[in-house]
Amino acid sequence: MRSAATPLALLLTAGLHLGTAPHATAAPLGTGPVFNNPNGTTAQQRAIRSDILARIKAAAPRSTIKVAVYHFWDAETARALAAAHTTSSRKVNVQVLLDETSVSAMPSSTSYAILRDALGTNRKAGSYVALCPKKRSCLGDPGEGASIAHNKFWLFSNSGGLHNVVLQTSSNLSTGSYTKFWNDTMVVSQAGTYNAYSGYFKKATAMKWRDWRYTRTASSPYTSYFFPRPGSGNKTDTVHGILNNITCRWSDASGSHRTSVRLAMFKLTRQGVADKLAALQKKGCAVDIVYAETDSKASSGSPGTWETLHEKGGPAMRCMHYDDDGDPGTSQKVIHSKTLMISGRYAGAVNKAVWTGSHNYSGPALRKNDEALLKVDNSAVHDTYLDRFRSVKSSAKPGTDDNTGGCKGVTPQRER
């Protein structure tokens, strides 16, 4: 995977690792992972935001920017999008789709008004800002109850020397997203993936939920998954299906091997997924999980995801839910990424792959919400995410106590 002229390996050593400076605005802008560091300097905290701003400012005249974000509370970024469209020498087409709570949950934010005044609200025009219905995603069946438009991706048709750019991120645009939450972005420049995301964006903007069908699109080395996915049970659970493709132990001419499964997850509340992760550990996989919230059902007398994952012989577990251990000397941050890393035997072949995006391992993320998940089959990308995983996990020490209301979902962590 490479940018217009720069190999991925060079990009990874030139500034895309955790805690490094964001991309410069000079073309060509790069591809690959971008991480923030909420424990770092202001520049490190805002690395993802700065990368987005650089691409907005580098967008070519009359190109197109498409944005799907859950919470947009960043006036500077709103002004940059407005300027890209209204500046006479640029006239960039800017299309923005937001969850309704971008307005109602933060009425003091000026971001929506800036976008509305510059872009208008006509979804049939070349530029606009649109809101999904109140208490609903754009594509979720309203008969299933409340849902959210939880997507977090940016599309640039031509920016900074790159065409067909997809930024799939876990980050909203808010101060807390930069200073409290550990987030990631994967930057891709490829027509097949860009077209898949653009098609999904068009369907979400049309808001014709009756016509929506769950979609999976492969364009090597990437695979895109677009939600919601109607159904019930593990057979129609995308993540459960991914985990089913893992072989924990295998042997070849070089000896015996063990597959590693690592998960950095904001919310892990799907019981079937928790059962599968625990089963993989017992089958010989090395399963290591950093999370912010599970789903305890101890009060009902039956196990929940917290109990399943904390059984003896289960995965290595580490909670990052503000001050989860009660020790004021330890980290008070939140893991907000939604990232799965697999290194070993997957789908019958030895591979290293990463899945990342907006998709929490929760019931609503699967069945109700507008969400996107991106798979990357690339060893260098996997290893960069692995370095990040280790940094996140180590930042939480010496706190080790996961037996708290926040970690167990008894006192939920709102995504604000």
DSSP per position, 172-199: -BSHHHHHTEE-EEEEEE-HHHHHHHHH
Tokens matching residue 374? 């991106």
Tokens matching residue 80? 């940059």
Q: What is the pLDDT of residues 2-47, one digit of tens each?
A: 333 333 433 333 334 333 333 333 445 899 999 999 999 999 999 9
Beta-bridge partner residues of 291: 265, 319
Residue-wise DSSP of 204-233: HHHT-GGG---EEEEETTEEEEEE-----S
In the predicted model, is pLDDT for residue 134 greater than 80? yes
Are the CB atoms for 329 and 358 separated by under 8 Å?
Answer: no
Distance CA 412, CA 196 (A): 34
Confidence of residue 400 (pLDDT cuts 50, 70, 90): low
Distance CA 183, CA 255 (A): 37
More confident residue, 316 or 411: 316
The overall average pLDDT reported for the chain is 90
* Helix (H) and strand (E) counts in the chain: 14, 20
Per CATH, is 8-210 categorized as 3.30.70.3270? no
Q: What is the pLDDT of residues 224-274, one digit of tens each?
A: 999 999 999 999 999 999 999 999 999 999 999 999 999 999 999 999 999
Tokens matching residue 156? 């640039």
Closest C-alpha to 246, from 279, 222, 291, 199: 279
Q: What is the pLDDT of residues 290-334, one digit of tens each?
A: 999 999 987 777 889 999 999 999 999 999 887 656 666 666 789
Distance CA 395, CA 227 (A): 32
Query: How far is the CA of 193 from the CAs of 104, 166, 176, 207, in angstroms?
Result: 32, 7, 29, 21
Q: Residue 413: its pLDDT value, please?
A: 62
Tokens matching residue 312? 């003896």
Show me where the domains of the chain are located: 8-210, 227-408
Q: Residue 301: its pLDDT value, please?
A: 76
Q: What is the pLDDT of residues 68-118, one digit of tens each?
A: 999 999 999 999 999 999 999 999 999 999 999 999 999 999 999 999 999
* Same fold: 8-210 with 227-408: yes
More confident residue, 416 or 30: 30
Query: How far is the CA of 78 from the CAs of 109, 115, 202, 234, in angstroms?
Result: 11, 6, 21, 40
What's the rounded mean pLDDT across residues 50-62?
98
Q: Residue 322: its pLDDT value, please?
A: 74
Query: How far is the CA of 352 from the CAs of 31, 289, 380, in angstroms?
Result: 18, 17, 9
In the predicted model, is pLDDT for residue 412 greater than 80? no
With a CB cutoff of 8 Å and minimum separation 6, the contacts of 324 are 399, 401, 402, 404, 406, 407
Tokens matching residue 54? 């650089």
Are the CB atoms for 353 and 376 separated by under 8 Å?
Answer: yes
User: Measured in whole angstroms, how far is the alpha carbon of residue 271 from the centre of its chain?
Assistant: 21
How far separated are the first and last CA of the chain, in Å rounded? 34
Q: Residue 6: its pLDDT value, please?
A: 34
Q: Residue 74: its pLDDT value, please?
A: 98
More confident residue, 366 or 12: 366
pTM for the model: 0.92
Q: Residue 330: its pLDDT value, please?
A: 63
More confident residue, 17 or 344: 344
Distance CA 32, CA 165 (A): 11
Q: Residue 372: its pLDDT value, please?
A: 98
What's the rounded mean pLDDT across residues 57-64?
98
Distance CA 393, CA 391 (A): 6
Share of the chain above pLDDT 70, in %: 89
Distance CA 293, CA 334 (A): 10
Beta-bridge partner residues of 130: 97
- The C-alpha angle with vertex 51 and arms to 48 and 54, in degrees rounded to 5, equals 150
Q: Select the CATH number that applies to the domain covering 227-408 from these four: 3.40.1410.10, 3.40.50.300, 3.30.870.10, 1.20.1050.40.
A: 3.30.870.10
Distance CA 388, CA 337 (A): 11
12-16, 180-184, 376-380, range with the lowest pLDDT = 12-16
